[in-house]
Copies of this chain bind each other. A is one copy, B any other.
């Protein structure tokens, strides 16, 4: 006479994994990595500790997955894709800034750049995490540089800045602005 387990259960590993990833990335952004406990995630998602540990053996592995899957996608959709599709690098960059500013106005609060928040908090503590974050920055930077070079090749560049330096400035400006916006 074990426990009468009358509730049906269906294994959905990918769905459960995604739910955890969603909750984790949201919590990391709104509260920070250290301030988010895995018990918090257990409570908010309803996922049990065993299941969570099955998919993410450690908190660090969870952070790694958030960076490589969720944040990478976010950088891609809000930056890389937008810049690539724009007529010119400069116009694409300006458009992203305006779009983000509009979204922030509607939202009413600033919770920072997802990538920048994590970079600030855990880049210094762990080399593996720092590498994952650096890779995301490299992608971001590469997309801007590629567009600038394409502009130059097409003769569309209003001015001819050093692509690498210009990309760095754009990224630093964006990251810094969202950080200051939090205060």
Residues of A within 8 A of B (CB): 30-32, 34-35, 111-112, 116-117, 119-125, 130, 133-134, 137, 168-169, 171-177, 179-180, 182-183
Selected from B32, B133, B134, B179, the residue in CB contact (under 8 A) with A175 is B179
Selected from B35, B117, B123, B180, the residue in CB contact (under 8 A) with A137 is B180
CA distance A179 to B130 in the complex (A): 12
A-B contact pairs, 9 of them (CB 8 A): A34-B34, A116-B180, A117-B120, A119-B182, A120-B182, A133-B183, A168-B180, A171-B180, A172-B177
Q: How many identical chains are in the complex?
A: 2
User: Chain B contacts of A125 at CB under 8 A?
Assistant: 31-32, 35
Shortest distance between the CB of A182 and any CB in chain B (Å): 4
CA distance A175 to B34 in the complex (A): 21
Known: A31-B124, A112-B120. A172 touches B182 (CB 8 A): no
Selected from B111, B133, B174, the residue in CB contact (under 8 A) with A124 is B111
User: Chain B contacts of A134 at CB under 8 A?
Assistant: 183
User: Chain B contacts of A32 at CB under 8 A?
Assistant: 34, 121-122, 124-125
User: Chain B contacts of A173 at CB under 8 A?
Assistant: 169, 172-173, 176
Cβ A116 vs Cβ B35 within 8 A: no
Selected from B120, B123, B175, the residue in CB contact (under 8 A) with A121 is B120
Cβ B35 vs Cβ A183 within 8 A: no
User: Chain B contacts of A171 at CB under 8 A?
Assistant: 176, 180
**Which chain B residue shows the least CB distance to A171?**
B180
